[in-house]
Amino acid sequence: MLLRALCVLALGSLPLSAAEYLGSHTWRPDWHGAGGFSALWLAPDGAGFVALSDRGGWVRGALARDGQGAVSGVAVAERGGLLRSDGDALRRDESDAEAIARVGDTWFVAFEGLHRVMRHPDLAEAAERMPQAEAFEDLGSNSGLEALAADAAGTLYAIPERSGSLARPFPVWRFRDGAWDEAFALRRDGRFLVAGADVGPDGRLYLLERDFALVGFRSRLRSFDLSGGDERLELETALRAHDNLEGLAVWRDAAGRLRATMISDDNLRALQRTEFVDYLLE
């Protein structure tokens, strides 16, 4: 058993899929309480970014990239706290922001705990109420909405962290024409749980998943068509290759290559880190 554990640790930096690892950048924000970043949005050029904290904070800025195209620096332009619909600061039980999507100039944020999706004309402005799926009320306190993505038509897709049992697929709720429905479900595989999602410029739904073992995390990226079919494994990492990857953005670089940039949630713990991780998918 000891030999097996040592082998796992030795292989911890090696990706287990054909995606090409481009690099990682550890980000150390310089303000009190920074961390817990659970959601990521990138501009089409991969430079402009927004990150959300599961403590209800937001950060907006620009990413520098090295010769390989991996994140090499973070410049923060502004930051603040998400607001309730009445303009007040979020209460503690309301602040667990886990996912973000953008449609035009409008932002949508999914929350866990008090499970809901809220609309923001701007992240610095008060939220606007919108219809909620009845199924959100049945989600567990720590297994609620973890992923949110928007397609080119402005349709939203929301996915919970857990499905209720290992045998049950992950439901995908869809918001269009002012109402939610359960559009389809995605196969649940083993111990992997939902961490984030994005609809890429190729029109596919990318699902970021993670698994926690005693010594660290492993991550996986699958993609599907927008009916939940044509499942493809895009990326699977070995244990401890990265920290707790939770935010995902899929985009194309200047050469037209499909890229995945992810951010980790350090859970505000000294032994973890906030890192940006880049892979080339094509």
Condensed to tens digits (0 to 9), the pLDDT of residues 31-52 reads 998 999 999 999 999 999 999 9
Q: Give the pLDDT score at 184.
A: 98
| pLDDT exceeds cutoff 50 at 82 | yes
What's the pLDDT at 14? 45
- As a whole number, the mean pLDDT across the chain is 92
Asked if the model's pLDDT at residue 1 lies above 70, the reply is no
Percent of the chain residues past pLDDT 70, beyond the cut: 94
Q: What is the pLDDT of residue 16?
A: 60
Mean pLDDT of 220-238: 96
Mean pLDDT for 51-77 is 97
Confidence grade of residue 17 (pLDDT, cut at 50, 70, 90): low
pLDDT at 167: 80
Provide the residue ranges of all domains of the chain, joining segments of one domain with +: 18-280
Q: Please name the CATH architecture into which domain 18-280 falls.
A: 6 Propeller (2.120)
Contacts 24+ apart (CB under 8 A), 268-272: 268/33, 268/35, 268/36, 268/55, 272/243, 272/244
Q: How many residues does the chain have?
A: 282
User: Where residue 268 falls among pLDDT bands split at 50, 70, 90?
Assistant: confident
Q: Once rounded to an integer, what is the mean pLDDT over residues 255-259?
A: 96
Instruction: Kindly tell me if the per-residue pLDDT of 4 is higher than 60.
Output: no
Q: Look at residue 99 in the predicted model and tell me its pLDDT.
A: 98
Pairing, β 179-186 against β 97-103: unpaired
Q: State yes or no: pLDDT of 7 exceeds 80.
A: no
Instruction: Of 3-17, 75-89, 192-206, give the lowest mean pLDDT range.
Output: 3-17
pLDDT in tens, 136-156: 999 988 889 999 999 999 999
Distance CA 197, CA 159 (A): 8
- Please state, in angstroms and rounded to a whole number, the distance separating the CA atoms of residues 196 and 24: 18
Whether the per-residue pLDDT at 15 is higher than 70: the answer is no
Biggest distance spanned by C-alpha atoms of the chain: 58
Of 10-14, 63-67, 219-223, 254-258, the poorest mean pLDDT is in 10-14
- The mean pLDDT of 208-222, rounded to a whole number, is 92
